[in-house]
Copies of this chain bind each other. A is one copy, B any other.
Amino acid sequence: MTREQGRITSTDVARASGVSRATVSYVLNNDPRQTIPPETRERVMQAARELGYRPFAPARILRAGYSRLVLAVLPFEQVDPSLARVSRDLEVGLARLEFSLIWYVGVPDVHEIHPSANLTPAVVIAFGSPSDPELASFVNEFSAPVVWMRDHDRGKQIGRLQVDHLAERGWQCIAFAAPERTDVRGLAQLRLAGVAERCTQLGLEAPAAKIVPLQRTGARAAIGELLANIAPPFGLCCYNDEVAFAALAGLADNGIRVPDAVAVIGCDDIPLAQLSTPALTTIATIQEDMERLLEARIAHILAASRGEPLQDPAPERVMVILRESA
């Protein structure tokens, strides 16, 4: 692992422009406390440009004691379509504060080498819940303030809202379609818990739960089994829109009409949701709320980067997108 590129340093720039390293630094960082003659300034900038000089980040950070880097940690199970928007808004907000946003995506347990060995974020944004011990320890390893997003509460809240919607429309019997993906079991449990909780509160029977695979034949079979257990009419709360698509396909393959015999409600409002037959009723995060939330979150991050104590941020709120399937 030798790398003898011969890095270009500020010493090189100083030599090339006939000044000291201090002056190079003053010029390049536009230090307002120094008065550099424009001619010298120009000479330094020119030399830096010609040599292709880039300050070596680790040296700067070592000197300063901190970086302007925010690392978002995203477990695979949290990857979902709403992320593109969140990511963009976060990044633009942080850029305004001169912070860079980068992502760690994946499986915290794979690593003998922790990324903190090569990376010094000023703040870590964790997608998930602090009560997830693996995620929590992965994230704490950075010894930086941690801002949590997408905590457990949202999971339950979505389940509750799905039931509310179905119950309001007169559905008395509720079932839950769970995903096959194993990495997402925790989230699915939570969702189901929210569904079950609300059923109890409303005096409905406890919901039947069934794993509905995304493979079409698997979906058909799963829905068949569900139908053997519980007779239509019933309302089906799906873990997310993908599972809802599988449920719709399985119901169609079993000759069940949606929403006449079975109502189906998803979650996420993926772009394809309006394109299913029938178009999918689903749950989405409230947009304006989202914007306010992100602003708050960024202020939060800034505060954390200054070492100020963190308070629990307001949770994301959530609404029904009404289409045809429920």
Contacts and interface: CB of A to CB of B under 8 A. Distances in A.
Interface in A224-275: 242, 245-246, 248-249, 252, 271-272, 274-275
Given A102-B102, A143-B54, A272-B242, A107 B88 contact: yes
Interface in A275-326: 275, 277, 279, 305-307
A7 B5 CA distance: 32
Interface string A118-155: 11101000000000000000000101000000000000
A102 to B, nearest CB: 5
Interface stretch (A17-25, A90-98, A164-172): A90-98
A3 B66 contact: yes
A111 to B, nearest CB: 5
A100 interface: yes
Contact of A105 (B59, B66, B87, B242): B87
Contact of A110 (B91, B141, B307): B91
Copies in the complex: 2
A214 to B, nearest CB: 5
Contacts of A71: 102
A265 B116 CA distance: 44
Contacts of A115: 69, 100, 102
Contacts of A117: 55, 57, 60, 68, 100
A186 interface: no
Given A103-B103, A106-B88, A4 B307 contact: yes
Nearest to A245: B275
A43 interface: no
Interface in A177-231: 214-216, 219
Interface of A: 1-5, 7, 52, 54-62, 65-69, 71, 76, 79, 84, 87-88, 91-92, 95, 98-107, 110-120, 122, 141, 143, 214-216, 219, 242, 245-246, 248-249, 252, 271-272, 274-275, 277, 279, 305-307
